[in-house]
Every structure is written in structure tokens, then in C-alpha cells.
């Protein structure tokens, strides 16, 4: 796997606190790259040890798309965490994840050798089936935009180019194993996570709260707040841009800092 480790920099005093950044999947990971880069730089400037990395079968890490799956990515996140703790010698760690990266961070917290101080979950995937359906819809819309008038007019073009919904998501291969693992994701994944603080940011507060209520999660289990941004990470509007909601980064640093001064 390929990762980038940042030591504390700048004028802020170094903190004995390490932060792991867990990537989203596929196109969402590519389009969130700028956000993660700026986030890691700001965290290091605030005195934190930071590691961002690519799962096996993604990004600059080894392995083809076919090698990626959800459970493997959780194992990769654990390996990345162990390397971060080894390099930083920090006794405390936290994790941040966007979309499927947030769901990976949740599973990581259960497998880590010590519980995280903070899990910052930004627009986490809490319904695997709905997530896969949205990826399939985005793939169809992207092809429609790309081919314009030819797309609705040419059945042959659609038959030739339309991705198999069971094997592809916006140009990234999804194995049957990976699909099954994602389909199994439900809101109950938030239950019994050994984190001191569990913070969830979502642009859809009411539907998310309804999901949590239906999962019968214990009251007060997590902090639920509005992202105050609505970005479709699976569309070209998020590609090759400098989309970086800085208030997310400030929120993260604000919620990391109280633990350091406790």
C-alpha cells in the first residue's frame, strides 16, 4: 500500500495524537482527493500526526480494481493505523472518513488495538443497497451526459456501453464479493462502536435520524449535525475541482482539541 505520513508542522505544539484518513471508494475517492490533502495539511499544521493512504486495489497502491473489497479495505485501514501509531508513538488516535471511508472507519474502530478518541463520519454509507443503486444511477447519468442526443436515440450504443450494474460503479469494477459486503451495510453498523466521541455529519438530517431511529440505536450514541454543504461526489461537478468545505476541517480540529486539553 502507498501512504503519506505527515509529522506535526508549523507553530502549533506537537500533540500526542494521531489521525487516520480513510478514503471513499472509486470515483468518490478520486474526487475527494483535494479535500483529503488539504485536511491532512491543516491537521499537521495544528500539531497532529496524520496518515492518508490508498487501499490495496485502489489509487497508487498495488492491485487491480478486481482486488478491492470492503472487508479487505478495513484490514488495510488497520495496517495503516498500526504504521501510523508506530511512526508517531502517539498514545491516542482518531479517524476521519467520507462516504464509504466513514463506514470503513467504523469497522476499523472495532478491530483496532485501542479505541479511537474521535470518529468523524462525513456523509457515511449507512444503507449499502441504496448506495449501490445510487452509483448505478450515476453511471447511467454520466453516460447520458457524455453522449448527448446519441444516447436516448441509439439502443445499440446503450447496449454496447452501458455498464453491467452488478459489476461496475462509475468505471470501477465491483466483484460479487465486494457487492455482497456493501449490501450488508445497515444503520446498525453504528451500534457498539468503541469510540469516545462518534460525530456524524450529513446533508440529510431528518432522513438520517429516521434511519437511526429504525435501527433502535441507544439514545445519545452519537453527535448528529448538518454538513452545511450538499456535494454529489459521484458526478463530474466534483471532478478536478478544489472542492474543500473548510468548515468540515475546522469542525474536525475543534472536536479533536478538547480531548487533547482534557
Average pLDDT over residues 227-249: 75
- Give residue limits of the domains in the chain: 3-126+187-260
Each residue's pLDDT tens digit, 16-28 = 999 999 999 998 9
Average pLDDT over residues 170-194: 92
**pTM given for the model:** 0.90
Each residue's pLDDT tens digit, 42-94 = 999 999 999 999 999 999 999 998 899 999 999 999 999 999 999 999 999 99
Q: Among 256, 262, 258, 257, which residue's Cα sits nearest to residue 94?
A: 256
pLDDT averaged over every residue in the chain: 88
| Beta strands at 223-226 and 197-202: parallel, antiparallel or unpaired | parallel
Residue located via cell numbers 470503513? 104
CATH number among 1.10.3720.10, 3.40.50.360, 3.40.50.1820, 1.20.120.1810, domain 3-126+187-260 = 3.40.50.1820
Q: What is the pLDDT of residue 81?
A: 98
177 phi, psi to nearest 5 deg: -65, -45
What are the start-end ranges of the E strands in the chain?
3-6, 17-22, 49-53, 92-98, 118-122, 168-169, 172-173, 197-202, 223-226
Distances (CA, A) of 66 to 62, 70, 174, 232: 11, 12, 7, 25
> Pseudo-torsion of CA 173, 111, 102, 81, nearest 10°?
-90
Q: Look at residue 230 and tell me whether its pLDDT is greater than 60.
A: yes
For residues 98 and 29, what is the distance between their CA atoms, to the nearest angstrom? 9
Q: What is the pLDDT of residue 150?
A: 67
Q: Look at residue 167 and tell me whether its pLDDT is greater than 90.
A: no
Amino acid at each position: 500500500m502507498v501512504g503519506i505520513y505527515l509529522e506535526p508542522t508549523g507553530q502549533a505544539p506537537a500533540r500526542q495524537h494521531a489521525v487516520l484518513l480513510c478514503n471513499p471508494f472509486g470515483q468518490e475517492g478520486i474526487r475527494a482527493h483535494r479535500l483529503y490533502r488539504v485536511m491532512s495539511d491543516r491537521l499537521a499544521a495544528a500539531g497532529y500526526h496524520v496518515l492518508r493512504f490508498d487501499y490495496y486495489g485502489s489509487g497508487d497502491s498495488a492491485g487491480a480494481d478486481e482486488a478491492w473489497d470492503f472487508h479487505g479495505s478495513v484490514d488495510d485501514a488497520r495496517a495503516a493505523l498500526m504504521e501510523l501509531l508506530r511512526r508517531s508513538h502517539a498514545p491516542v488516535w482518531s479517524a476521519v472518513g467520507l462516504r464509504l471511508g466513514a463506514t470503513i472507519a467504523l469497522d476499523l474502530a472495532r478491530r483496532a488495538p485501542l479505541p479511537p478518541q474521535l470518529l468523524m463520519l462525513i456523509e457515511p454509507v449507512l444503507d449499502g443497497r441504496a448506495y449501490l443503486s445510487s452509483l448505478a444511477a450515476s453511471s447511467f447519468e454520466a453516460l447520458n451526459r457524455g453522449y448527448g442526443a446519441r444516447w436516448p436515440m441509439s439502443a445499440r450504443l446503450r447496449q454496447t456501453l452501458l455498464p453491467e450494474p452488478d459489476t461496475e460503479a462509475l468505471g470501477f469494477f465491483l466483484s460479487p464479493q465486494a457487492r455482497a459486503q456493501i449490501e450488508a451495510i445497515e444503520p446498525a453498523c453504528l451500534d457498539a462502536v468503541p469510540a469516545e466521541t462518534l460525530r456524524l455529519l450529513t446533508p440529510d438530517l431528518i432522513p438520517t435520524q429516521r434511519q437511526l431511529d429504525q435501527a433502535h440505536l441507544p439514545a445519545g450514541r452519537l453527535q448528529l449535525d448538518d454538513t452545511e454543504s450538499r456535494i454529489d461526489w459521484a458526478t463530474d461537478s466534483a471532478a478536478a475541482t478544489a472542492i474543500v468545505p473548510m468548515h468540515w476541517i475546522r469542525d474536525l480540529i475543534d472536536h479533536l482539541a478538547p480531548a487533547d486539553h482534557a
